[in-house]
Structure 1
Amino acid sequence: MQRHEINPHQVTFPRAIQPYIVNSRIFDSSSSPQARVYYADHSPDRSYFIKTAAAQSLCREAAWTTYFHARNLAPDVLYYGTIGGRDWLVTARIPGEDCTSPQYMADPDRLVPLLAHRLRALHETDYSNCPETTRMERYVQTVQHGYRNGRCDRALYTTWYGEATDDEIYRIARDGWPRLRADVLLHGDYCLPNVILDDWKFSGFVDLDCAGIGDRHVDVYWALWTLQFNLHTNDYRSLFIREYGADLVDEEMLRIVAAMEVFG
């Protein structure tokens, strides 16, 4: 995760956030135009991530991070609220760095099995009393909305499955989404920057706004995508699937998910 130190006076932090930034160095670690993320480095045992975005846009992330934290899978949510028309979310920093750190990227033969085993463990986690159970319904609605409004990223499908038109890809998604299951706890965006390791020991997940109860192939798809994107090779696809459990992975479902993600 990249962090660029900034002058704290460059940002108008509301009063509720002040306790988390006082006497701290402030860094901008944003990676998305939809949200700003700041890192408040107070001391080794008192550091925080502060995220702000449009009102109500962080409520799911706050709820699911709290849920994952209760299962020792994510940082603690210290504050969530809407102030001045914007959401503010403060989480404690957990030990370690994300999987794009040079330490981990330099050893993919060790990293890939670890990511596969960690995902399998997540998918075997009890998801009783979860915040909501409509993740797959919303997933389908997002795909329908994206297609109707011409929002697509065709490369999410064509990189692996060859050239196709938007209409052809949408038909694959539409014909396939009735096969989606809702039987595992998903991260929803299982990519290297969202998995934190502390010297190769799992520390926690971050960016859980896409979490929910859904089909394991959503997470498996994004795991395979991030390995190709971040490692610049598709050579680790088979290793990941084998270590995760090849008997649980349906290649046709991966193709369906790829088609859906084009419009997601």
Structure 2
Amino acid sequence: MIENLNLPEKIKHLISEKNFTSDDIGKSNAKVLMFDDCVLKIEPRSARNEKSIEVLRWLQGKLPVPKILAYEIDEAAGLQYLLMSKVPGIMSCNEYYMERPGVLMAHLAEALKLLWSVDISDCPRIITFDDELKQARYRVENNLVDVDDAEPETYGPGGFENPMALLGWLEANRPQFEPVLSHGDFCLPNIFIDGDKLGGFIDLGDTGVGDKWCDIALCYRSLKHNADGTWGKKVYPDFKPELLFEALGLEPDWEKIRYYILLDELF
């Protein structure tokens, strides 16, 4: 019940008559309430989260992203409340699209190219290797890395001894930076398809100027694991994630793909 939630009055007024469900997809510590026509995201107030709001404002009119309906801060509780419109369509990991890989790849390629087409000259967030590796080091040194959630080959025989060893390799092997507008978490649940067209992007908390191959790498991993049953209950045995590169018209840079998947292991 909305009445049981301690919400800012402006937010409460806009959603007081609406029914909702809680969304637990994803790994963030945000509380997400799903309504028929909007989404309320409640997060701890932080410089990072406030920068994400700034980026979302900047994206309005540039990309198919949620429209900001209201944004409030509760200073006493240390929380921020973002009420957004819903992006039309369904997640691209939906069974309908997983069973139609040609259609799926075309939409994902369109989504990536749409991101890359945005003028980044005045983007309010730039995500550099220094930023990423500094944050990764903090997580490693404070034992915040979940090794049980890693790819099977990341640690152990043939892999890295531990997260600190992985971090050292990442710091010593930075690839060339190819700046574009990067979603930051380009996985299938964050890309919506609306019938025969791209619906839009959600979960834009890490969006900013980043490397082109970061999104490609996370998209490839998402395709692979949505097909092999790692994420989701169904296995699609004939699914070929490599078709993404054909749809993009790019030769895969496997070194960069591996680098960004390994970097993500520390987050």
Class of the TM-score when normalised by the shorter of the 2 chains: 0.7 to 0.9
Aligned mates of 1:162, 1:91 — CA distance in 2: 45
Equivalent residue number for residue 34 of structure 1: 29
Aligned mates of 1:157, 1:216 — CA distance in 2: 25
Equivalent residue number for residue 214 of structure 1: 210
Q: Among 236, 249, 253, which residue is 1:250 paired with?
A: 253
The answer on whether the counterparts of 2:116 and 2:181 sit within 8 Å (CA) in structure 1 is yes
Q: Among 28, 51, 62, which residue is 1:71 paired with?
A: 62
Q: Structure 2 unaligned runs (5+)?
A: 229-235
Equivalent residues in 2 for 1:178-193, closer than 5 Å: 179-193=175-189
Aligned mates of 1:17, 1:33 — CA distance in 2: 22
Equivalent residue number for residue 236 of structure 1: 240
CA deviation after TM superposition for structure 1 residue 236, in Å: 2.3
Q: Among 205, 219, 225, which residue is 2:221 paired with?
A: 225
Aligned mates of 2:80, 2:261 — CA distance in 1: 31
Q: Among 170, 173, 176, which residue is 2:173 paired with?
A: 176
Alpha-carbon distance change, 101 to 238 in structure 1, aligned in 2, over 3 angstroms: closer
How large is the RMSD of aligned CA atoms in angstroms? 2.5
Aligned AA (1:261) = D
Aligned AA (2:123) = C
The answer on whether the counterparts of 1:20 and 1:40 sit within 8 Å (CA) in structure 2 is no
The answer on whether the counterparts of 1:28 and 1:38 sit within 8 Å (CA) in structure 2 is yes
Aligned mates of 1:129, 1:51 — CA distance in 2: 26
CA deviation after TM superposition for structure 1 residue 159, in Å: 6.2
Equivalent residue number for residue 44 of structure 1: none
Equivalent residues in 2 for 1:28-107, closer than 5 Å: 28-31=22-25, 32=27, 34-41=29-36, 47-56=37-46, 58-83=49-74, 84-107=77-100
Aligned mates of 1:131, 1:59 — CA distance in 2: 11
Alpha-carbon distance change, 33 to 113 in structure 1, aligned in 2, over 3 angstroms: closer
The answer on whether the counterparts of 1:136 and 1:182 sit within 8 Å (CA) in structure 2 is no
Aligned mates of 2:7, 2:113 — CA distance in 1: 39
Equivalent residue number for residue 205 of structure 1: 201
CA deviation after TM superposition for structure 1 residue 237, in Å: 2.8
Q: Structure 1 unaligned runs (5+)?
A: 1-6, 42-46
TM-score by length of 1: 0.84
User: What count of residue pairs does the alignment treat as equivalent?
Assistant: 251
CA deviation after TM superposition for structure 1 residue 262, in Å: 1.9
> Once the two structures are superposed, what CA deviation does each residue of 1:195-235 show, in whole Å capped at 9, x if it has no partner?
11111311211111111111111111110111122121695
Aligned AA (1:70) = G
Alpha-carbon distance change, 10 to 104 in structure 1, aligned in 2, over 3 angstroms: farther
Q: Secondary structure at the match of 1:58?
A: helix
Alpha-carbon distance change, 110 to 29 in structure 1, aligned in 2, over 3 angstroms: same
The answer on whether the counterparts of 2:55 and 2:125 sit within 8 Å (CA) in structure 1 is no
Aligned mates of 2:15, 2:178 — CA distance in 1: 40
The answer on whether the counterparts of 2:107 and 2:197 sit within 8 Å (CA) in structure 1 is no
CA deviation after TM superposition for structure 1 residue 92, in Å: 0.9
Aligned AA (2:6) = T
The answer on whether the counterparts of 1:58 and 1:89 sit within 8 Å (CA) in structure 2 is no
Higher helix share: 1
Equivalent residue number for residue 3 of structure 1: none
Q: Secondary structure at the match of 2:242?
A: helix
> Once the two structures are superposed, what CA deviation does each residue of 1:5-59 show, in whole Å capped at 9, x if it has no partner?
xx33343322121132132112212334601111222xxxxx2100001113532
The answer on whether the counterparts of 1:157 and 1:255 sit within 8 Å (CA) in structure 2 is no
Q: Among 2, 11, 14, which residue is 1:17 paired with?
A: 11
Alpha-carbon distance change, 80 to 58 in structure 1, aligned in 2, over 3 angstroms: farther
